């Protein structure tokens, strides 16, 4: 693969800023990076791009998606929006294998996965799936899911998923149904603690779905490493802060998705779906889906509780990670685009600085998930890059002024020719 140099750009490394910098890529790695005064001697074949007025960022990491049924558009669409790595939070074995194979093709985001989540009989997400789809094919697939009950079943599940799926982390489900005004089958805290203990023995970090305050506390008390949502049923408490601190746990709040759940985010969803800068990156059907709402929590949740929870956690020093909960059928979301929506909410609703928000979608997520080859622009790491016009370190919505996206040094073909303009 040929080498190239980006110069005269503002660089956010994922941790710090170089105001007038350069980055050199050779093959799929970052060869060197620094101020323009330190540009090394280049080979004659090295392509040079001078992009004054632009900002170079690490490729974004969406730490929460669902590529249901191995959605063939999930990885390409994410990449077009500057998301160079996605973290799938629940999927069946055939889908995982298809998606891993798809990453060998150009124009796809890298794929991390929980594989098949640790589920119980009639537990989440079975009720929400079967409420909309009772087809024989879907019911047959659900019948194959783990139905964990005790330590032996947990060990058998972990041995199976390690052998067949090689997951990057283990996903737990802890949904009581509070957000919907329902009462759903819920694992015991003892069972969840067993899953976490056995996962830790095998070197896995654990992440958990929970959308009520009590469910969140249950998972923190069980010892989970991170939460893949915040809650929306009541205001945050000091007990919550203490539990997060006791675990050194992180929170991926999925605020944009929660706005869809309560319907209070509809206006912002419409704004992002119809932004003039993204129309060539997303089709009409997906724009329409982005404008609709899931509405499960319209009667029993408030997005203000979710915002408040993140504000107090941030103030207490808890790490906040950026992830969208985007899924093909999930109304109010769109692969890739929802990350920009989430970043905007972090700044405009939570009060993060743009640099802090961008760190939550790059270096901080890489650090907390143990992705040591990405998330930071540093010599020797993957050349996963996002080039935007403007300065998202001042105006976060400039992240949508996309002029180039590279995964492991390969330019996404949507941006062929853009750099020369």
What is the reported pLDDT for 305? 98
Q: How confident is the model at residue 1 (pLDDT cuts 50, 70, 90)?
A: low
Q: Is 258 helix (H, G, I), strand (E, B) or coil?
A: helix
Query: End-to-end CA distance of the chain, in Å?
Result: 22
What is the reported pLDDT for 133? 87
What is the reported pLDDT for 373? 98
Strands 385-389 and 54-58 come out as: antiparallel
- Kindly list the distances between the CA atom of residue 324 and the CA atoms of 61, 145, 213, 360, in Å, as whole numbers in the listed order: 10, 24, 20, 12
Task: Report the distance separating Cα 363 and Cα 114, nearest Å.
Answer: 20
Q: Angle between the 266-273 and 255-262 helix axes, to the nearest 10 degrees?
A: 120
pLDDT by residue (tens digit) across 230-245?
999 999 999 999 999 9
Tell me what the mean pLDDT of segment 186-208 comes to.
98
Task: Report the distance separating Cα 43 and Cα 24, nearest Å.
Answer: 11
pLDDT above 70 coverage of the chain, percent? 100
Tell me what the mean pLDDT of segment 406-413 comes to.
97
Tell me what the mean pLDDT of segment 193-209 comes to.
98
Q: Which of 122-126, 129-133, 266-270, 302-306 has the lowest mean pLDDT?
A: 129-133
Tell me what the mean pLDDT of segment 192-207 comes to.
98
pTM score over 0.95: yes
What is the reported pLDDT for 51? 97
Task: Report the distance separating Cα 254 and Cα 346, nearest Å.
Answer: 10
| Residue 405 pLDDT greater than 60, yes or no | yes
- Matching CATH number, 60-376, of 3.30.1360.200, 3.60.40.10, 3.20.20.140, 1.10.1300.10: 3.20.20.140
What is the residue extent of each domain of the chain? Answer: 60-376
pLDDT by residue (tens digit) across 306-339?
999 999 999 999 999 999 999 998 999 999 999 9
Tell me what the mean pLDDT of segment 33-38 comes to.
98
pLDDT above 90 coverage of the chain, percent? 96
Phi and psi for 240 in degrees, rounded to 5?
Answer: -60, -50
Please name the residues in contact with 158: beta carbons below 8 A apart, sequence gap of 6 or more: 170, 198, 199, 202, 204
């Amino acid at each position: 693969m040929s080498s190239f140099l980006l110069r005269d750009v503002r660089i956010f490394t994922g941790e710090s800023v170089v105001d007038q910098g350069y980055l050199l890529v050779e093959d799929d790695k970052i060869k060197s990076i620094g101020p323009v005064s330190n540009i090394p001697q280049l080979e004659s074949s090295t392509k040079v791009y001078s992009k004054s007025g632009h900002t170079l960022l690490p490729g974004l990491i969406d730490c929460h998606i669902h590529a249901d049924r191995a959605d063939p558009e999930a990885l390409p669409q994410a990449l077009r929006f500057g998301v160079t790595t996605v973290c799938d939070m629940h999927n069946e074995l055939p889908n995982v294998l298809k998606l891993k194979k798809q990453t060998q093709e150009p124009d796809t985001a890298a794929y991390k996965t929980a594989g098949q989540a640790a589920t119980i009989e009639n537990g989440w997400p079975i009720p929400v799936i079967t409420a909309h789809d009772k087809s024989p094919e879907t019911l047959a697939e659900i019948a194959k899911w783990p139905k964990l009950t005790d330590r032996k079943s947990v060990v058998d599940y972990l041995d199976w998923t390690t052998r067949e799926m090689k997951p990057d982390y283990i996903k737990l489900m802890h949904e009581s149904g509070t957000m919907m005004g329902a009462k759903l089958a819920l694992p015991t805290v003892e069972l969840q603690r067993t899953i976490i203990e056995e996962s830790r023995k095998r070197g896995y970090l654990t992440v958990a779905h929970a959308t009520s305050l009590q469910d969140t506390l249950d998972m923190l008390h069980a010892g989970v490493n991170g939460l893949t949502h915040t809650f929306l049923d009541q205001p945050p408490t000091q007990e919550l802060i203490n539990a997060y601190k006791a675990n050194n746990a992180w929170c991926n709040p999925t605020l944009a998705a929660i706005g869809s759940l309560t319907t209070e985010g509809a206006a912002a969803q419409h704004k992002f779906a119809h932004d003039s800068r993204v129309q060539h990156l997303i089709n009409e059907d997906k724009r329409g889906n982005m404008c609709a709402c899931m509405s499960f929590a319209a009667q029993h949740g408030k997005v203000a509780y979710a915002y408040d929870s993140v504000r107090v956690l941030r103030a207490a020093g808890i790490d906040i990670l950026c992830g969208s909960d985007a899924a093909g059928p999930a109304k109010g979301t769109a692969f890739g685009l929802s990350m920009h929506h989430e970043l905007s909410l972090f700044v405009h609703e939570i009060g993060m600085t743009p640099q802090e928000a961008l760190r939550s979608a790059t270096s901080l997520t890489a650090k907390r998930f143990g992705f040591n080859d990405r998330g930071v622009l540093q010599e020797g790491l993957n050349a996963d890059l996002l080039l935007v016009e403007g300065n998202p370190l001042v105006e976060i919505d400039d992240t949508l002024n996309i002029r180039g996206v590279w995964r492991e040094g390969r330019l996404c073909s949507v941006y062929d020719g853009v750099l020369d303009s």
